Chain A
Amino acid sequence: MRAYPYHRLTGPVTARIGGVRLRGPGDAREQLDAKACSVVERVVALGMAERTEWQSARLALKATVPASEIEKKGHWSDVAVVAVLTEGATNARTVARLMPGPEGGKDWTGEIELNRHDHLDRASLAVHVVATVGGVEGRIIASTDPDQEWMIDVTAEEPLRNRELDVNTVSFTRGGERLRSFQGAPWILDTAGRMPTVRLNSDFEGLVALVESQGSTVKGILREMLLAQMSSEVWTAVFHTAIGDLEIEDDGTPLFPPDWRGAVLREMLPDVVPGQSEENALREVHSRRTGEGSWTDLQARIQYAAARRAEVAQTLAGAVRDIERIDQGTHA
């Protein structure tokens, strides 16, 4: 817990995106389908826009702040509520002030504009309550919980927080020198690009058909297991890629990468080093990898974190149940 030298709010601040209007060339407008905005996942999928040439998106926002606490405690004046939209990869930062609603400053509403050219992948939206405290203007007295931030995905076609595994099929024998060296392998992971990708070997007989199969037959069960296995390997591989490529501050502090690598680390670290803040966990893992303390001991934790993300246990339990059912069916 961080200590602040001034009074802050203890109640929660929450935000909600109610709707999105897109604007394109020649003043073309479009109201984004409500399905593109998931309140449960807190994600907006701008890739669902009908017009692909949109230039800006205007997000309608509502924030709820602990108004009675502000009034009761009386430490704060000039209270303002601001929404901040940022993306590390493009250094984009857009700020909008929200306006208090009619009911005593509990609900604040407003709009924030996302400029398409200023974003690459995902922007996150936070809401801060700012006030004058003890004569100091502009103090941040409360913010949305980092876990509760909204994510605006500029390309996604579905509002999902966790991304689906990107799988593509390629012939390893004909796919260039690098892939040729993996001949005979059913799949490999490519973590070099903007997003990690699984490359399936189309030369491996029956594999593509298996991965693309559907239904709950034996084939379907095998497919689910295979995907969970791949997914677990992907999580392990991206964790290692991310941790192996950290930027280090002059004082030795490792930094979270601004892209998906950072997101992966933030997601997995609580399982790898439980009970620590993100920053401390990152420092711990980094120092172990670079030779202080045991890196080997950590491998089981990394594998555990990856298997959890990939839902290996659930998939396996489901597969065992399904196989029993099939067995019963054949014996009946």
Chain B
Amino acid sequence: MTHRPEYLPERLALISDLKAAEYISSGLLEGSEDVPSIALNKSADTLPGDEARLRLDRVRDLIDDTMTRFHDERPTTADAWLAPRLHETLRLTRQEAADKEFWTYMALGVAPDYVVWRHLSEPKADGSPGRVARDRFVGPQYKQTFARLWWAAELFRDGPDYRPVVVACGNQDMLNSALRLDVIDHRPTALALVRMMERGTVRTGREVNAMTPAINAAAATLMYDVIAPDVGRDGEPLRDWIAAAESALPSPRSNLPEGPEEQRAPIESVERLVGHFAELFADAQVRGRTSGEGD
């Protein structure tokens, strides 16, 4: 299996797709090769400044702990544990997190071993080895190993509260399908989806996959922002939280960490959407059955 990089610099960095392409060998994608870490770091651009949040060891320690903790379990179960802690350790703004080069470096320079451990598929029946999809290293937000966890944490957290993130990341179908939809950019919508999972209104991956497209389609004619308004986003708590990273302890491993002290989404708005989505979901199920796709 691909190993932890031999050389780990002090600070996180950026690397472009073009430069990264040289290091994504088929051996790496099959989990049989390492990334030549010294050469890779020569091609990467170290992030400027000396902020503690951009120190490499903090996030590498977290990855090591994740792999130890979930050593004997299915790697998918690690997502719900790692997502909030990754988010809290890095303390990025969305502007920073939108930079693909940051996540590509995370995958190649910080933890290629994690990417392989988490995403290597089973060997095929014909004996050909398992593979990691290339987009787990350089893909879009909802595919890339670390970007998808960070964005899930960002979009599903309720202000400082990461509990909804744990629920959302605990279901692979939710994580995979919801993250691609624009509707969850509206916070009460994202939180209503989580509520429905907590209450068992939707349980299986199949149900999640029936519900999310229905909600997305309805958003073409309905303005959820008006039906269920959110509070405005104030930039101050996030700036304070980022500044506080200088003196922050490592992300707690047993308890959930806390995010920026932003205002939470109004409960009435979330509940309103839960009711609304439950109706949509019931309709979608009925339609699924009558068209012969049901159980």
Does B associate with A?
Answer: yes
Chain A residues close to B by CB (< 8 Å): 4-6, 55-56, 80, 82, 84, 86, 88-95, 97, 113, 115-120, 128, 130, 136-140, 178, 190, 192-194, 247
**A97 to B140 Cα, complex, angstroms:** 32
Contact with A along B76-108 (1 / 0, CB 8 A): 000000000000000001110111000000000
- Nearest chain A CB to B193's CB is how many angstroms away? 15
Name B94's closest neighbour in chain A (CB-CB): A90
Verify if B210 is at the interface (C-beta below 8 Å from A).
no
Interface pair B94/A140, CB less than 8 Å apart? no
**A116 to B98 Cα, complex, angstroms:** 13
**A117 to B97 Cα, complex, angstroms:** 10
Interface pair A80/B235, CB less than 8 Å apart? no
Interface pair A91/B185, CB less than 8 Å apart? yes
Name B228's closest neighbour in chain A (CB-CB): A138
- Nearest chain A CB to B248's CB is how many angstroms away? 18
Name A177's closest neighbour in chain B (CB-CB): B22
- Nearest chain A CB to B284's CB is how many angstroms away? 16
- Nearest chain A CB to B97's CB is how many angstroms away? 7
Interface pair B235/A115, CB less than 8 Å apart? yes
Interface pair A94/B233, CB less than 8 Å apart? yes
Verify if B16 is at the interface (C-beta below 8 Å from A).
yes
Given A91-B185, A93-B185, A93-B186: A119 in contact with B226 (beta carbons within 8 A) = no
Name A119's closest neighbour in chain B (CB-CB): B95
Q: Sort A-B residue pairs by CB-CB distance and give the 8 closest, nearest first.
A: A192-B18, A117-B93, A138-B227, A93-B185, A90-B94, A120-B98, A95-B225, A89-B98
Interface pair B95/A118, CB less than 8 Å apart? yes
Interface pair B93/A86, CB less than 8 Å apart? no
Given A92-B185, A118-B93, A178-B18: A6 in contact with B99 (beta carbons within 8 A) = no
Name A8's closest neighbour in chain B (CB-CB): B221
Interface pair A117/B235, CB less than 8 Å apart? yes
Sample 18 A-B pairs with CB under 8 A, ordered by A number. Answer: A6-B221, A55-B239, A56-B235, A82-B223, A90-B97, A91-B155, A115-B233, A116-B95, A117-B93, A118-B94, A118-B235, A139-B222, A139-B223, A140-B223, A178-B18, A192-B17, A192-B18, A193-B16
**A11 to B58 Cα, complex, angstroms:** 56
**A3 to B220 Cα, complex, angstroms:** 12
Interface pair B97/A137, CB less than 8 Å apart? no
Residues of the A chain whose Cβ atoms lie less than 8 Å from the Cβ of B223: 82, 128, 130, 138-140
Q: Which one of B97, B99, B226 has the greatest number of beta carbons of chain A within 10 Å?
A: B226
Residues of the B chain whose Cβ atoms lie less than 8 Å from the Cβ of A90: 94-95, 97-98
- Nearest chain B CB to A317's CB is how many angstroms away? 37
Verify if B48 is at the interface (C-beta below 8 Å from A).
no
Interface pair A84/B225, CB less than 8 Å apart? yes
Verify if B224 is at the interface (C-beta below 8 Å from A).
yes
Interface pair B232/A247, CB less than 8 Å apart? no
The interface residues of chain A, by DSSP majority, are classed as strand
Verify if B151 is at the interface (C-beta below 8 Å from A).
yes
Interface pair A82/B18, CB less than 8 Å apart? no
* Given A90-B94, A139-B221; 11 other pairs, CB 8 A cutoff: A4-B221, A91-B94, A91-B141, A91-B151, A117-B95, A118-B235, A136-B222, A137-B226, A140-B220, A192-B16, A193-B18
Interface pair B221/A82, CB less than 8 Å apart? no
Q: Which one of B16, B95, B182, B233 has the greatest number of beta carbons of chain A within 10 Å?
A: B95
Name A249's closest neighbour in chain B (CB-CB): B180
Name B97's closest neighbour in chain A (CB-CB): A90
**A241 to B24 Cα, complex, angstroms:** 19
CB interface residues, B 168-198, toward A, < 8 Å:
182, 184-186
Name B43's closest neighbour in chain A (CB-CB): A176
**A4 to B222 Cα, complex, angstroms:** 11
**A82 to B224 Cα, complex, angstroms:** 12
Q: Which one of B97, B186, B233 has the greatest number of beta carbons of chain A within 10 Å?
A: B233
**A93 to B230 Cα, complex, angstroms:** 11
Which single member of A80, A86, A91 contacts B226 (CB below 8 Å)?
A80
CB interface residues, B 1-22, toward A, < 8 Å:
16-18
Interface pair B94/A92, CB less than 8 Å apart? yes
Given A90-B95, A91-B151, A93-B185: A117 in contact with B238 (beta carbons within 8 A) = yes
Name B235's closest neighbour in chain A (CB-CB): A115
Residues of the B chain whose Cβ atoms lie less than 8 Å from the Cβ of A88: 182
Interface pair A140/B93, CB less than 8 Å apart? no
Which single member of B184, B225, B233, B238 contacts A82 (CB below 8 Å)?
B225
Interface pair A140/B222, CB less than 8 Å apart? yes
Name B229's closest neighbour in chain A (CB-CB): A95
Residues of the B chain whose Cβ atoms lie less than 8 Å from the Cβ of A139: 221-223
- Nearest chain B CB to A77's CB is how many angstroms away? 13
Residues of the B chain whose Cβ atoms lie less than 8 Å from the Cβ of A137: 226-227
- Nearest chain A CB to B181's CB is how many angstroms away? 10
Interface pair A138/B226, CB less than 8 Å apart? yes
Interface pair B94/A55, CB less than 8 Å apart? no
Interface pair A113/B227, CB less than 8 Å apart? no
Name B18's closest neighbour in chain A (CB-CB): A192
**A116 to B16 Cα, complex, angstroms:** 24
**A128 to B223 Cα, complex, angstroms:** 9
Interface pair A120/B99, CB less than 8 Å apart? yes
Interface pair B225/A118, CB less than 8 Å apart? no
Name B155's closest neighbour in chain A (CB-CB): A91
Residues of the A chain whose Cβ atoms lie less than 8 Å from the Cβ of B222: 136, 138-140
